[in-house]
Amino acid sequence: MSATHPGRVAAATLAALVVAAGGAVAGVMLTAAPTADSLASPAPTTTVEVTTRPYDDARNIDLRPVASDGRALTAAASGTITATRCVVGDELSSGDQLVAVDGRPVVALATTMPLWRDLALGARGADVTALNEELRRLGHPAGQGDRFDAATRDGVRALLANAGASSPDGTLPLAHVAWLPSRTTTLGACEHRLGDRTDGGRLATAGGGVVALQAAMLPPNARHGDRVVTVAGVRTYLGEDGQVTDREALDAWFASPEGFAWRNLGDDAPATTVTWELAQPLETAVVPPGALAGADGPRPCLATPDGARAVEIVGSGLGKSYVQMLDGTPPSHVLARAVPGTTC
């Protein structure tokens, strides 16, 4: 057997030491160092705290005015509207100026029969009798019976002067009379604005006016139950036909900027947007959508640490679901995610 050379032994010994040291280093490198508690990742959250909040299911809807037809106030005067006293909702009385056309007033007159012709000194007839009676009732001079005499002429001058005419001559042109069906009426609509052109015909509407506010369309998925709208600060209800007919609400709307716009623009005015909401808000539990099982089915369940509980889903928003408990008070916590197949 040959002897081992001392140099070779030393080299082998050195190599063994290097290998051993390398293995130790590798072992240290492969062993995970302990992490400080402050740097450790938090354990996954399995439950979520439940909060409660009122839920009113508020929806925006548009309302538009509904006006009744009323009776047309007409005059044959043609020209430019140079003055107007027509304001929807205001009262118009016999003897008042309705508008002025080319500077000449159109006077409202509630005679017992409509006037049908120009009247001047010497005219006779039932229409003259009606004119004399109305002049007298208004406190102006008036003739007797069916004759247009000097007293009638003086009364017509006073009537037209009070209505804004300049130096009336005592004749009463039919073109400048708008017959009223009653001594006083409420204006329901105005056909012209200052500066408009009229070629005769309807100037305004007596009576009528806004009788309702109609919802253009109701959201099809709105929660059932009593719901209210707030119109110009007045809280009221929609009828089954989608109309607001509460007089207080209509009057408040009429005095609002939206009502003012409608009086000036008519059907071109923008709709009035109001909030349609539950009269009595529901008390709901606010939970993450993941805590619900069977949300698309007829019997949704809420996963809680103590088991699944029956709920009704009433709404959602901002990544939350709003539910009503069907079996008591809401839990304090729910599972962050329901186990698939959970039933209740």
Tokens of 150: 């000097």
Q: Tell me the three state secondary structure of residue 97.
A: strand
Binned at pLDDT 50, 70 and 90, residue 290 comes out as: very high
Cβ–Cβ < 8 Å for 111, 133: yes
| Whole-number pLDDT of residue 333 | 96
Dihedral (Cα; 220, 53, 344, 341), 10-degree rounding: 80
Between 307 and 265, the more confident residue is: 307
Whole-number Å distance between alpha carbons of 34 and 27: 15
Condensed to tens digits (0 to 9), the pLDDT of residues 48-59 reads 999 999 999 999
Condensed to tens digits (0 to 9), the pLDDT of residues 200-256 reads 999 999 987 788 999 988 888 787 679 999 999 999 999 989 999 998 999 899 889
Lowest mean pLDDT among 17-21, 133-137, 289-293: 17-21
Share of the chain above pLDDT 90, in %: 69
| Whole-number pLDDT of residue 75 | 97
| Whole-number pLDDT of residue 219 | 86
Q: Average pLDDT for residues 7-12, to the nearest whole number?
A: 41
| Whole-number pLDDT of residue 184 | 92
The pTM is what? Answer: 0.53
The tokens 């051993």 sit on which residue? 20
For the cut 70, the answer to whether the pLDDT of residue 114 exceeds it is yes
Domain ranges of the chain: 59-67+209-277, 70-206, 281-335
| Whole-number pLDDT of residue 27 | 41
| Whole-number pLDDT of residue 17 | 35
| Whole-number pLDDT of residue 4 | 43
| Whole-number pLDDT of residue 15 | 41
For the cut 80, the answer to whether the pLDDT of residue 16 exceeds it is no
| Whole-number pLDDT of residue 68 | 81
| Whole-number pLDDT of residue 31 | 42
For the cut 70, the answer to whether the pLDDT of residue 265 exceeds it is yes
Condensed to tens digits (0 to 9), the pLDDT of residues 118-170 reads 999 999 999 999 999 999 999 999 999 999 999 999 999 999 999 999 999 99
CA distance from start to end of the chain: 87
Strand order in the sheet with 209-215: 234-236, 227-231, 272-278, 59-68, 209-215, 243-244
Beta strands in 156-271 (DSSP E): 177-179, 184-190, 197-206, 209-215, 227-231, 234-236, 243-244
| Whole-number pLDDT of residue 133 | 97
Whole-number Å distance between alpha carbons of 67 and 72: 13
